A and B are shown apart, each in its own frame.
Chain A
Amino acid sequence: EVQLVESGGGLVQPGKSLRLSCAASGFTFDSYSMHWVRQPPGKGLEWVSSINSNSDIIAYADSVKGRFTISRDNAKNSLYLQMNSLKPEDTAFYYCAKAMGLWHGMDSWGQGTLVAISS
């Protein structure tokens, strides 16, 4: 059974940094692309970033480009999102999701971790 467990969320001040982690199990992690998706409380889903299996294809939404960095450690079956220069509008639940294949939609999701940006 695929399991994705996010961690690292919390309350931070604007301008600060936070690093999210996603621990994956139940599948061959290094064979799949991975995604980060966020959802402000009470609002819709927003794609944040994606990374392919060997980290040579990476993409970001315009809203986070230059501030967020996605990475993965296939030896540790882990996905990361380094978030810098955080803004109040980054407040959201952040979900880690597994891609169906090379660069496809999201067939498994974690339960999410809440990031709140406020002074």
Chain B
Amino acid sequence: SYELAQAPSVSVSPGQTARITCFADALSRQYTYWYQQKAGQAPVMVIYKDTERPSGIPERFSGSSSGTTATLTISGVQAEDEADYYCQSADSSGTLWVFGGGTKLTVL
């Protein structure tokens, strides 16, 4: 089965840049999506189709993808960005979805 791997945690100081990486276990031509989930809340999409930012998401959130690796970058991290972040993609058929295990971002 198709899997996505994320580091369990990342810590940064306010104003620094956080990079959260998502590793696929096989080359896939499917897009990667990123979601932010704050404690006790439903997830919110912050990046779609690898690099696009939904309306209302701050410009400090950006996405990139190369080969089997996708990266969510948060520039100038703020305290309010502390949350769990999940990557998502589909298998090579494009039909079956999978989430990464999630990365907890701590703002020191």
Footprint of B on A, CB under 8 Å? 35, 37, 44-47, 50, 57, 59, 61-62, 95, 100, 103-107, 109-112
When distances are taken between beta carbons in the complex, the residues of chain A under 8 Å from B98 are 47
Residue of A nearest to B42 (CB): A109
Q: Main secondary structure on chain A at its contact with chain B? A: loop
Q: Which of B48, B96, B99 contacts A45 (CB 8 A)?
A: B99
Contact B54 A44 (CB under 8 A): no
B14 an interface residue at 8 Å Cβ cutoff?
Answer: no
In the bound assembly, the distance between CA atoms of A45 and B22 in angstroms comes to: 15
In the bound assembly, the distance between CA atoms of A107 and B49 in angstroms comes to: 11
When distances are taken between beta carbons in the complex, the residues of chain A under 8 Å from B49 are 104-105
Contact A105 B96 (CB under 8 A): no
B1 an interface residue at 8 Å Cβ cutoff?
Answer: yes
